[in-house]
Structure 1
Amino acid sequence: MTKIEIEAELKQICPSLRLGIIQCKVNTKEECPDLWHIINENTRDIQENLAIAGIKDIPSIDSSKKGYRAIGKDPSRYRLSAESLLRRIVNGKGLYKINNVVDLLNLVSIKSGFSIGGYNADKIEGLVQFGIGNTDEPYQGIGRGKLNIERLPIFRDNLGAFGSPTSDSLRTQIDETCNNFLMIIISFQEEEALPEAIKLAIDLLKTHAYAEEIQSIII
C-alpha cells in the first residue's frame, strides 16, 4: 500500500484532519450503465432537496471550508471539489461522465460531502505527504490548467505536487489504463462519517470496478 503521511505543519493547523485511504486493483472502463442509474437517482434527489445556500451547511463541507481558512486559502475562490460537484447538480448541470472509477468516486463525494482524490498509484513515486502548497509551486489541475496552490492543502510525492481537495492533477489522473487505484477521502472533522464513506466507496468499487486486493486505513 502506498505510504502516506500528514505533514506536521498541516496537522498542527488542522488537528481534526483525517484521511480515509483505499487502494485496490480495478478494471477501469468508460461505460457503466448500472452505476449511472444510481448516480442519476442521487442527482435527482439532490436537485429536488438541496439549494445552493444549503451546500455550505453540510458538516463535511463546512469543516473543510474552515480548514481552508485556517491554512490561509479562500474556499470561495478555490472551491472544494465536493462543493463544486454539488453546485453543478443543484444548478441542473449534472455530473461529468468520465469512467466508472472516477464516476463512483464522484458519487461517494456528493453523498458524503467529502472532497476525494483519485489517483493512478503507478504514477506516484515514493512517500506521499499531505502538506501545504508553496509560492510558485508548479501544478496543472485537471480541467483547470495552471493552479495557484500556495497555502492550498496538497499531496506531494518525489516528483512534486499531484493532488488537492480543490483539483487533482494531470500527472496522476485516472484514465482507462489505470489498474492500481488510490482513493483518498479528505476529512477536516472528527466523526463517524469517514468510515461510512470508506464503506460506501469499497462497496461501489467491488460492484462497479471489479475491485480486488482492497486495502483501507484511516490516518
Structure 2
Amino acid sequence: MSQFVVEKPFWDIFPEVRIALIRVTGLDNQDHGQLPASILEDANAHVADLIPDDPISANPLIHEWREAFRKFKTKKGARCAVENLLKRSKNGNPVRSIDPMVDLYNACSLRTGFPVASLDTASIQGDIRLTVAKGGEPFQAISEDEPEPALDGEVIYADDAGVVSRCWCWRDAERVETRDDTTAATMYIECLKPEWQADHEAAVNQLTSQIEQYLGAQTETVYVDEAHRAVDYD
C-alpha cells in the first residue's frame, strides 16, 4: 500500500494547511460528450465575481497565495496554478475544454479558487511526499521538452522517481498527468487558510459528485493536516 505523506519540513512552514486527498477509481475519461458545455462556461463567467479587483494581486485570494509563495524558494515567476487560470479567464481568454476530468477540475478551480491536481495513479512510483526539496530532484513539466530540476528549499510533491508537482501547486510533471485512458486518479486540493475550510469542503464535495455523476467513477476523500500527516492513496 502506497501512502500520501506530508513531511515535517512542510509543516514547519505551513502548519495551518489542510489538504483533501481524493482517490478516484473506475474512471471513464474518454470524451463521450457526457459533460454539459455549461459547466466550463458557467465557471468562466463566475471568475469576475470571485476576483473582481484590479490588479489581480488586490484580491484577497491571490494576495494570500502570493504571500505563501514568498515563504519558500521558487522558480522566478512561479505562482499558484489557480492564479494563472483565473487571470486568463478574467482577461477574456476563457479556459477551453481539454478532456472530461481536466474540464471538471478546471471548472472547480474557476468557481472556487482552490488549486486542483490530478495524477494518473498507475504512473506514480511509491509514496507521494509533500516536502521541501534538497535541490536537483528531477522534473519535466507537461508540454515542455527540457527537464527542470527542483531548487534547494522549494516546496514539492515527489514520488520515488522525482518531482510530480513543482513549487507546491505551480506545475505538474508530464509522466504522471491524467490522460484519456486513465482509469484511476489521485487528486489533491489544498486549503491554505483555516477560514477557507468550509468553502474548501464544499468545493471538494461538488467536484467528487460531478466526477461520479459524469465520469462513472467512484471517489473517496480523506483530509490531511498537521495532526494527520499520512494516508493511504492506493
Q: What TM-score bracket applies, with the shorter chain setting the length?
A: 0.7 to 0.9
2:35–2:100 CA contact under 8 A, matched in 1: no
Q: Give the superposition deviation at 1:136.
A: 2.9
Alignment map for 1:152-163 (pairs within 5 Å): 152-163=154-165
Give the match's secondary structure for 1:109: helix
Q: 1:200: which partner in 2?
A: 206
Letter in 2 for 1:179: T
Q: Give the superposition deviation at 1:82.
A: 0.5
Give the match's secondary structure for 1:4: strand
Q: 2:83: which partner in 1?
A: 83
Q: 1:215: which partner in 2?
A: 220
CA shift digits 1:188-218 (9 cap, x unpaired): 2113222112101111111221112x21111
Please list every run of 5 or more consecutive structure 1 residues that lacks an aligned counterpart in the other structure.
Answer: none
CA shift digits 1:128-163 (9 cap, x unpaired): 110123323221111345445324322111111112
Task: Tell me which moved more, 186-195 or 119-128.
Answer: 186-195
1:82–1:113 CA contact under 8 A, matched in 2: yes
CA shift digits 1:58-116 (9 cap, x unpaired): 55443332221112337x71021101100110111111421100111111111121111
Q: 2:185: which partner in 1?
A: 181
Alignment map for 1:116-131 (pairs within 5 Å): 116-131=116-131
For residues 5 and 196 of structure 1, the distance between their equivalents in structure 2, rounded to whole angstroms, comes to 24
Q: 2:231: which partner in 1?
A: none
Give the match's secondary structure for 1:130: strand
TM-score of the pair, normalised by structure 1? 0.88
Q: Give the superposition deviation at 1:170.
A: 0.3
Give the match's secondary structure for 2:172: coil
For residues 206 and 104 of structure 1, the distance between their equivalents in structure 2, rounded to whole angstroms, comes to 11
For residues 181 and 4 of structure 1, the distance between their equivalents in structure 2, rounded to whole angstroms, comes to 13
The alignment-based identity, stated in percent, is 19
1:28–1:100 CA contact under 8 A, matched in 2: yes
For residues 200 and 2 of structure 2, the distance between their equivalents in structure 1, rounded to whole angstroms, comes to 19
1:23–1:182 CA contact under 8 A, matched in 2: yes
Q: 1:15: which partner in 2?
A: 15
Query: Where does structure 1 differ by over 6 angstroms across 4 or more consecutive aligned residues?
Result: none
For residues 58 and 199 of structure 1, the distance between their equivalents in structure 2, rounded to whole angstroms, comes to 25
Letter in 1 for 2:134: N
Give the match's secondary structure for 1:174: coil
Give the match's secondary structure for 1:204: helix
Pair 1:58–1:184, CA change in 2 (3 A) = farther
TM-score of the pair, normalised by structure 2? 0.83
Give the match's secondary structure for 1:34: coil
Task: Tell me which moved more, 167-176 or 154-163.
Answer: 154-163
Alignment map for 1:103-142 (pairs within 5 Å): 103-142=103-142
Q: RMSD in angstroms over aligned alpha carbons?
A: 2.3
For residues 83 and 144 of structure 1, the distance between their equivalents in structure 2, rounded to whole angstroms, comes to 20
Letter in 1 for 2:174: L
For residues 168 and 30 of structure 1, the distance between their equivalents in structure 2, rounded to whole angstroms, comes to 22
